[in-house]
Structure 1
Amino acid sequence: MRPAGDVLFWPLTSDGGYTTKSAYGFIRQRRIRTEASSSSGQQPHARFWKTLWVVDSLPRCREVAWRVAKKIVPVRRALRVRGMQVEEECPFCGMHPETIVHVLLCPVVARWWFASPMGVRFRSSDIPAYFLQQIFDQQDDHLTGLCVTFLYVIWDLRNAMIYQQKVPEFTGIMAQFSSLLSIAEEGALVRPPVENGLLARNSWTRPGEECIKINFDASWVHSAPTGLGFIARNNLAQVMAAAVAFPIDATSPIIAKALAFRWSLSLAKDLGFRTVCLETDCLQLFDTWMKAKGGDSYLFSVISDCRDLVSSFLNFSLSFVRRTGNSVADHLAKNSSKFHNSVWIEEVPPELESLIHADVIASMAT
């Protein structure tokens, strides 16, 4: 590994490289925070945003809910403020200006919410983000998925009224609602695990003969030390080595994963492995490696170190696997604080034996 030199680092992007988009986002978010602090409106907490993206509904429905909570829905009042010559009245009731709050509180829409299977009642004091947060706080996954899906149906119906002059009927609303729920349910059961066009495995598989498969991972939490995990196994699913590193400084999840990648390559080299295939559950890291682009950011500096290390092996490959196929490395990374900097040769901590056994069973079925 070549000596590391000083590099410029921009803290507002995951790879440390400056972009005008990130600078614009920083200015915009600072303005939003300033406006929020001077208003009496309640803002959703961090758990709300984390939960939103795993709600049991279609991605298109989650996106609309996110836009409502962020107040970036292109309602008529917002469009007029930006200088567009459009009618301002709500397309449902035709009596009040269409604002983001009115999207939920319009008397016509409110009746549909109450008549739906959720039986939701609105209060005049509700605001979109707070209303959604109240639903999420009930910790009822089924109810949350229903509400997020119904919100999408309302917004889709609103667009159909404006652009296609369709007249809303409650039976049609419920038919679309049921259809979306069915698609979401069927998709969860039969949809193959595809990430950005890449078919990913759900479970750990054995490498070819004379190859050592290395799974690695990093556990990153904001404002906390990062931990790294490493597990190497042969074609018989036997453990050749395992390791953890803690604490590691990383400024973002992608930087943490890249540091785990570099550390794993260095460790494999020190252990004398000659033919290796590495697996990561970080799609962004995999894409960055495959695109082979360079740059001045810290991320590309770490990736460049990895390319130098690869030359130490007779054969090398990096592949992408789902988190369920990287469970051992994930567990090691998350529990690295218990072991600090440790290396095990041909063994693992006892708590990992069940995960190792599960991988062996999974590899026999593939």
Structure 2
Amino acid sequence: MTTDGTYTTKTGYDFVRQHRSRHAASPSSSSDARGHGQRKSFWMSLWKAQVLPRVKDVAWRAMLEILPVRQALRKCGMEVDGSCRFCLESEETAAHVLFQLPVVLRWWFASPLSLRFRESDDPASYLQQLFDTDEPEVISYGMTMIYAIWEQRNNLVHNGIQATFEALLHRVPTLECADSSGSLAPGPARVEDLRIAWRRPVGNTIKINFDASWTAASDTGFGMIARNNNGEVMAAAALGFTSASSALMAEALAFRWSVSLAKDLGFFRVVLETDCLQLFEAWKKNRLGDSYLFSVLNDCRDMVSYFTSFDLSFVRRSGNSVADFLAKNSSKFSNIVWIEEVPPDLDLLVTSDVLASMAF
């Protein structure tokens, strides 16, 4: 109040400001200080992102848990079914519909970002995991993904239109963002700009991507997928293996296994692709040696004469995601060969590869 006891908006504002200043100056724990710093960094990342204001608005509402999901509507007293329209089982929360749904988790992993989130019930923690990448293109694309997923949810709820990964992947690049000057600039980077995409083989050659998963405990798994120049799956396989002395040896053994499979499957013109640069360089140098590595590579060279055309190429890990998935899940799929199909969990990754390859 003023000195004469009259209340005004200005005096109310001054009171709140002084109260907050005293509270901020009061002793606090180091964890509180860190938390304040993290929140400040979080908000800076959100508002600085080069995305449309409406995209920021959805991310902001998700962070504060004020998106009009069914759980929030019920809390406001509305008599609505609280279950998620995607799965029809769990309660629809912001964290659930944007990050936790099995189909949405597959979307995130199959997207150009290839993200796997740590599970949480707090939407802000998922956004923080996105911001922790500290890469502007990833943050922009991820925030736009959130907006596009929310759009897909609304189309399903209000229009009965079934959400699909293809629609999501095509929608994200169409959303433009504002640059620092306020003018419109191209939206989040296209698929091929954010990752090294899988590319189709030339002519009637079969491309075989392979990978190995290895741990210090020597638990090893192999994965491979063979596709033609239309992106169609010719074969896929996974094998659990339990003895490899190093990650490089695991990759070499996966190479030999893949060459042998290609021979057994009757492929004649092949190019194998690895994301292990050491293996690629060792193969190209074509040096002799007495080590187990050279012995395995020599086995591969002996089998090469079977093919009318053979080559080994190198690709970044982001272009080898299907084989990587099979290798890491080899204990689940162990010693299985699929002909002209893949496990259901891989459908989105294969589709993402094909869509990305259309740019080349």
TM range (shorter): 0.3 to 0.5
TM-score if structure 1 supplies the norm length?
0.46
Higher relative contact order (CA 8 A, sep 6+): 1
TM-score if structure 2 supplies the norm length?
0.46
